[in-house]
């Protein structure tokens, strides 16, 4: 067989992470300058009604900055060519920590999914029963008869997820520690994939976040909508951040960590967003946090608006906690710091959307297009490109894992048109929770 050497060389051209960052940043800046130029009349008209400062706050918050973020993400994902995982000659031992609080309805399925993994290395699974009031502990004890790798740590008093994980960490026998939620179901090669990715990533990697997908998407419209958020939105964010050497959240639902690094940073902190704060502690210590896009875990998403809003409140509050506990991370000279600053503007965007865009929709219904009008359509090209790009990426990953993208048109429609109307007001409630120092509980993941 004759191979065209020019094609081979072209396929092997490598662009450094720093160069990819610069290209994405320049492209996003060009898009932002164009957006500001075409928004001049919009800015002038809105300023006449609400003043210049308020107009800048709203227009930049609902259009200009989101447009910059979307264009940066799209360009980054287009350049993402991460090295493929390779089978290992020897697979290291892993300790899995499963913190459980009143999970009798789901813990059995979680253990079954672990049992089906066929991980080729030593395996230790510790279920930490955090003072459950149901049959969680009894179910795990019964499962111990079937699974020799299973240990139950039965805490008599509920003390929170961080405390439960730290107690489990004391019993860890292996240098790699994986956390898994007690209401999850692992894809059959999830453990192999996440360990291979961890080993293939740069040597300063100390944590890798797995891929979280919705298991109960058929239950109602809310879970159908969340299916697309996990599949497109959250997945794109983690993939982009890992490209630049710093995934900002190695979520407790499914991630792998270096045990010594966990001990070095003090384990999981006692707070609402323990996984966010822990990840930032690792980043501040100079370590890299990656993402394994094909280590899939399926979780039960909130089925009611009340639980969904509480979940997103907790996530938003966790971000504020991370800033409070690790403020010096803002001066850490590394690419991931860019996304730390990126997070700083989220409260601005959430406030602008909640108190600007939503009222603007109402005004537009009565013929007043001061806030929401033809100019807001400038957001659509980059948002559409980002969604289409990430769908194609995730679709290829699903094909490789012999999974199918479910036809969920109603959920997709609600995700595109209505999701932010729930998500961003809920985030504001989370910021207020931290500001007002309200009571911190397990909540929902």
CA distance linking residue 187 with residue 43, whole number of Å: 49
CB of 99 within 8 A of CB of 180?
A: no
Domain boundaries, the chain: 5-78
How high is the pLDDT of residue 9? 40
Coil, strand or helix at 49:
helix
When the pLDDT of each residue in the chain is averaged and rounded to a whole number, the result is 90
Residue 370 or 429, more confident:
429
DSSP string of 50-93, one letter each residue: H-HHHHHHHHIIIIIHHHHHHHHHHHHHHT--PPPP---SSPPP
Residue 223: name the closest of 134, 231, 79, 376 by CA.
231
Of 186, 195, 207, 221, nearest to 275 by C-alpha is 207
pLDDT, tens digit (0-9, with 9 covering 90-100), for 291-313 = 999 999 999 999 999 999 999 99
Q: Which of 174-178, 263-267, 387-391 has the lowest mean pLDDT?
A: 387-391
Residue 1: band (very low, low, confident or very high) from pLDDT cuts 50, 70, 90: very low
Whether the predicted pLDDT of 73 surpasses 80: yes
CA distances from 17 to 38, 235, 240, 244, 334 (A): 32, 19, 11, 6, 12
**Going edge to edge, which strands form the sheet with 205-214?**
150-155, 123-130, 94-100, 176-180, 254-258, 205-214, 288-299, 184-186
Does pLDDT of 440 surpass 80?
Answer: no
Which backbone phi and psi does 141 adopt, to 5 degrees?
Answer: -60, -40
Which of the two residues, 373 and 146, has the higher pLDDT score? 146
For residues 69 and 24, the answer to whether their CB atoms sit within 8 Å is no
The answer to whether 156 touches 132, Cβ cutoff 8 Å, is: no
Question: How many angstroms separate the CA atoms of 28 and 40, rounded?
Answer: 19
Helices (H) and strands (E) in the chain, counts: 20, 8
**List of residues 6+ apart from 251 with CB closer than 8 A:** 209, 210, 212, 275
Over range 58-77, report the average pLDDT.
Answer: 92
d(CA 287, CA 279): 10
Structure tokens at 37: 């130029």
**Torsion angle in degrees (nearest 10) through CA of 218, 221, 222, 223:** 10
DSSP state of 13: -
Closest CA to 125 of 95, 148, 103, 100: 95
For residues 296 and 213, the answer to whether their CB atoms sit within 8 Å is yes
pLDDT at position 204: 93
- 120-159 pLDDT tens trace: 999 999 999 999 999 999 999 999 999 999 999 999 999 9
| Residue 376 reports pLDDT greater than 80 | no
In this predicted structure, what is the pLDDT of residue 333? Answer: 86
Does position 5 have pLDDT exceeding 50, yes or no? no
Cα 120 off chain centre by: 28
Task: Extract the tokens encoding 408.
Answer: 């969920």
443 contact partners, CB below 8 Å, separation of at least 6: 272, 310, 311, 313, 314
Whole-number CA gyration radius for the chain? 23
User: What mean pLDDT do residues 355-380 have?
Assistant: 79
Cα torsion 333, 336, 340, 341 to 10°: value is 60
Question: What is the mean pLDDT of the segment spanning 161-166?
Answer: 95
In the structure, what pLDDT confidence band is assigned to residue 370 with cuts at 50, 70 and 90? confident
User: Which strand (E) or helix (H) includes residue 224?
Assistant: helix 221-228
DSSP β-ladder status, 254-258 and 184-186: unpaired
Query: What is the sign of the dihedral through the CA atoms of 83, 88, 93 and 96?
Result: positive
Higher model confidence: residue 10 or residue 175? 175
pLDDT by residue (tens digit) across 310-365? 999 999 999 999 999 999 999 888 888 999 999 999 999 999 999 999 998 888 88
Of 161-170, 270-279, 410-419, the one with minimum mean pLDDT is: 410-419
Contact in structure between 268 and 162 (CB atoms under 8 Å):
yes
Rounded CA-CA distance 14/413 in Å is 38
Distance from chain centroid for Cα 240: 11
pLDDT tens, residue by residue, 85-118: 889 999 999 999 999 999 999 999 999 999 999 9
Rounded Cα–Cα distance for residues 309 and 49 (Å): 33
> Residue 215 gets which letter from DSSP?
S
Q: What is the pLDDT of residues 208-230, one digit of tens each?
A: 999 999 999 999 999 999 999 99
The Cα–Cα gap between 239 and 246 comes to 10
Of the candidate ranges 261-265, 372-376, 405-409, the one whose mean pLDDT is the lowest: 372-376
pLDDT of residue 444: 45
């Amino acid at each position: 067989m004759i191979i065209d050497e020019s094609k081979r060389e072209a396929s092997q051209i490598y662009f450094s992470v720093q160069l990819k960052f610069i290209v994405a940043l320049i492209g996003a800046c060009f898009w932002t300058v164009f957006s500001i130029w075409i928004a001049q009349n919009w800015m002038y008209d809105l300023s006449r009604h609400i003043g210049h400062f308020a107009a800048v706050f709203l227009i930049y918050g609902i259009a200009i900055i989101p447009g910059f973020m979307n264009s940066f993400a799209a360009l980054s994902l287009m350049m993402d060519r991460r090295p493929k995982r390779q089978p290992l000659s020897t697979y290291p031992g892993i300790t899995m920590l499963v913190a459980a609080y009143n999970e009798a309805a789901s813990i059995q399925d979680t253990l079954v999914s672990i049992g089906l993994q066929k991980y080729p290395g030593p395996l230790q699974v510790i279920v930490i029963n955090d003072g459950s009031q149901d049959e969680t502990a009894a179910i795990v004890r019964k499962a111990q008869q079937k699974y020799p790798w299973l240990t139950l740590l039965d805490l008599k008093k509920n003390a929170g997820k961080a405390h439960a994980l730290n107690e489990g960490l004391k019993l860890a026998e292996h240098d790699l520690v994986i956390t898994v939620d007690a209401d999850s179901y692992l894809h059959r090669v999830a453990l192999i994939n996440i360990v291979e990715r961890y080993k293939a990533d740069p040597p300063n990697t100390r944590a890798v976040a797995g891929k979280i997908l919705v298991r109960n998407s058929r239950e109602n419209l809310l879970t159908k909508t969340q299916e697309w958020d996990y599949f497109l939105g959250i997945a794109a964010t983690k993939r982009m951040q890992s490209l630049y050497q710093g995934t900002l959240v190695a979520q407790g639902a499914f991630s792998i960590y270096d045990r010594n690094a966990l001990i070095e940073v003090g384990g999981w902190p006692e707070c609402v967003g323990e996984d966010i704060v822990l990840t930032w502690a690792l980043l501040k210590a100079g370590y890299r946090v990656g993402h394994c896009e094909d280590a899939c875990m399926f979780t039960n998403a909130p089925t009611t608006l009340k639980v969904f809003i509480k979940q997103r409140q907790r996530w938003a509050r966790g971000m504020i906690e991370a800033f409070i506990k690790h403020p010096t991370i803002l001066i850490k000279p590394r690419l991931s710091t860019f996304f730390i600053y990126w997070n700083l503007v989220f409260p601005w965007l959430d406030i602008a959307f909640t108190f600007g865009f939503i009222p603007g929709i109402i005004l537009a219904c009565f013929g007043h297009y001061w806030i929401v009008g033809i100019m807001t359509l400038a957001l659509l090209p980059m948002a559409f490109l980002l969604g289409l790009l990430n769908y194609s990426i995730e679709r290829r990953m699903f094909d490789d894992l012999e999974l199918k993208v479910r036809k969920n048109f109603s959920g997709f429609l609600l995700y595109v048109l209505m999701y932010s109307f729930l998500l961003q007001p809920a985030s504001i409630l989370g910021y207020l929770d931290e500001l007002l120092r309200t009571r911190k509980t397990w909540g929902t993941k």
